[in-house]
Amino acid sequence: MFFDIGLLEMLAIFVIAVVVLGPEKLPKAISQTSALIRKVRSFSDSARDEIRRELGPELADLQLHDLHPHALAQKALTGAENELVPHATTSAKPDSPVSPPA
């Protein structure tokens, strides 16, 4: 769901909000929170669009997860372009020579 929050967690947050804020103030707090979430989402969308515009058309399809250090290291070491591999599963024999990285 939203931020990996399950149904029981959302229900607990709602019950706590009703107890703390009361039923009179809860609708106003929900509307203020949703307005804040909309503003943050709008800001992040505009920042992402500005970054893509500054990078130019050749990098327009660049995704933010492509800039993650693990993804960059994997691309540099293995030449993999599409997805991350958590651990290499290839097994080298102890007597086989290991070629140095290029």
Residue 84: CB partners within 8 Å, gap ≥ 6? 70, 71, 74
Query: How many Cβ atoms are within 10 Å of 70's Cβ, its own excluded?
Result: 10
Judge whether 29 and 13 are in contact, CB under 8 Å.
Answer: no
Judge whether 26 and 17 are in contact, CB under 8 Å.
Answer: yes
In terms of pTM, does the model score above 0.85? Answer: no
**pLDDT tens digit string along 24-81?**
998 999 899 999 999 999 999 999 888 888 877 777 676 767 777 888 888 888 875 5
Can you say whether the dihedral through the CA atoms of 46, 47, 49, 54 is positive or negative? positive
